[in-house]
Amino acid sequence: MNFYFAPMESITMYPLRNIHKDMFGADISKYYSPFVTAAKSKHFKNREKNDILPIHNEPFAKDNDTSLVVQIMSGNSETFLWAAKEIAQLGYKELNLNLGCPASTVVNRHKGAGLLSDPDYLDSMLSEIFEAKEKTDELKDIDISIKTRLGVTDENEALKLMEIYAKYPISEMTVHARVKDDFYKNSPRLDAFCNSVKRYRECGGKALICYNGNIFSKKDYESTITLLEKEGIANEVSSMMLGRGLLENPALARELAGKEALAAPELKEYLTKLYAGYEEYIPEERNVIFKLLEHWAFIHTHFENCDKYLKAIRKARSKGEYLAAVRNMFASCKFK
């Protein structure tokens, strides 16, 4: 099984990706950038462009490493193709179309999961993209993958979507086993995921298939595999994309691969490196701390009876206070 680091807007930016790759990258086959918006103005937002510039992604820029995939948010073939050409010129070999973002600001603009509400439009958009790809020198050798949900409100929408996806030479299809209206809540819809995979293959779809949704532990992983085996599709799913599970446990992929569990000293080192990485990336100390707090919202689960210590971390308003509070957490709470 291959493991991928999911795109997470504002969290999995280059400081995190580079540090994670350096420490835990041996068990991650691909990292996905958060989406880069393909705007009608044909300009990238500075923050999004900076995130994918090779100069900021040095660990990925050597030895023909192709493990960083850039995700594009676009509501039509024209802007997608413009962005794809620009990004391909930076040296990327795989581009991923976002068909899952549930945010109303995105959906209302007919992008992300918004595209799933109009299968005929999505069909014509994909048709235009793949037709143009063949005729465009810069894109001919680029893989185009998708990351989709099962539908907008009803998981059965996936059956029609799979018919559409199967028509195109998509390199890999990641299915986040939820519908748009689930946002990130509820359990993943595993039965609907299995039915979608079957439908996709019945329709002749050839893409690699990646499962995504709520893999936080070895137990989650094994129960998902057991279900895929029971449904006879374990061999069809070649990868799993891990999102919040990797925020909680940066060594999750290593553990799922049957190797060592996360140790306290390496978590400490990871957090120290993240602080230094964000210090270069974010000008204000307070905002660096806020960024680290996003991680602590997940990471605190490794510490037993840590409420008091976590509160101190959350209250820190300077680097000194923050580092002292983190030291206390490691010194005082049992690591699990």
Ligand X SMILES: Cc1cc2nc3c(=O)[nH]c(=O)nc-3n(C[C@H](O)[C@H](O)[C@H](O)COP(=O)(O)O)c2cc1C
Interacting residue ranges for ligand X, rule: CB under 6 A = 6-9, 11, 34-35, 71, 98, 100-101, 147, 176, 184, 212-215, 242-245
Give the shortest CB-102-to-ligand X separation in angstroms.
Answer: 9
Give the shortest CB-95-to-ligand X separation in angstroms.
Answer: 13
CA–CA dist 30, 122 (Å, integer): 26
Give the shortest CB-134-to-ligand X separation in angstroms.
Answer: 25
Residue placing its CB nearer to ligand X in the complex, 9 or 181? 9
Give the shortest CB-289-to-ligand X separation in angstroms.
Answer: 18
SS3 107: helix
Residue placing its CB nearer to ligand X in the complex, 111 or 244? 244
Residue placing its CB nearer to ligand X in the complex, 133 or 244? 244
Backbone angles phi, psi at 145, to 5 degrees: -115, 170
**Which residue's CB comes closest to ligand X?**
243
User: Cα separations (Å) of 273 from 56, 297, 329?
Assistant: 16, 18, 17
Give the shortest CB-176-to-ligand X separation in angstroms.
Answer: 4
CA–CA dist 188, 172 (Å, integer): 20
| Cα 138 to the center of its chain, rounded Å | 25
Residue placing its CB nearer to ligand X in the complex, 183 or 191? 183
Q: Are 189 and 178 contacting, i.e. CB atoms less than 8 angstroms apart?
A: yes
Give the shortest CB-101-to-ligand X separation in angstroms.
Answer: 6
Residue placing its CB nearer to ligand X in the complex, 7 or 15? 7
- 38-45 contacts, C-beta under 8 A, 24 or more apart: 38/72, 38/73, 38/74, 38/79, 38/80, 38/82, 38/83, 39/79, 40/79, 42/79, 42/82, 44/83, 44/86
Q: Are 70 and 42 contacting, i.e. CB atoms less than 8 angstroms apart?
A: no
Residue placing its CB nearer to ligand X in the complex, 7 or 250? 7
Tokens at residue 106, please? 């995105």
Give the shortest CB-257-to-ligand X separation in angstroms.
Answer: 16
Residue placing its CB nearer to ligand X in the complex, 77 or 98? 98
Tokens at residue 227, please? 């279900």
